[in-house]
Amino acid sequence: MIQLTRAYFFSASHRLHVPQFSDEKNQALFGKCNNPHGHGHNYRVEICVKGEIDPMSGRVVDLAAMDSLVNDRVVKYFDHKYINQDMPEFKTLVATTEVLGEVIHERLSTVWPKDFPTLDKVGIQETKRNRFTIPSSK
């Protein structure tokens, strides 16, 4: 068993805001992340797969095939979007990086090809100072 992790990048804006809370409570909870028109990040998403090394190729995953899937399902989907307004999932979800990571995991796991190694976890960073990790097995 070996794990391989590859990083992907997209740039998007978001705003942290809970509609059930008052403006004052949102401001107190989220601070500048609640500013009314949103703000942006260069997100880094790490996709970790685990499996056995294929003896023919010496590799655990076909990186070109994984790139194609992740680019379609994640990078092109979120890149240069306002997550709160452009993404249908976030009509009813708070656009924190935690939730964004869960949505990305779901967007991959639901179409993950059977001949790929296991999707082990998804990591996501909005800046270099924080990382959220969403494991496939709870």
Residues at the contact surface with other proteins, assessed by CB under 8 A: 1-7, 53, 56-60, 62-64
Residue closer to other proteins, measured from CB, 5 or 35: 5
Whole-number minimum distance, CB 49 to other proteins, in Å?
Answer: 10
Stretch (H or E) spanning 88 = none
> Residues 49, 109: contact at Cβ < 8 Å?
no
Backbone angles phi, psi at 94, to 5 degrees: -80, 135
Active site (annotated) includes residue 105? no
- The count of other CB atoms within 10 Å of the CB of residue 22 is 9
Active site (annotated) includes residue 17? no
Residue closer to other proteins, measured from CB, 65 or 111: 65
Catalytic positions are 33, 80, 126
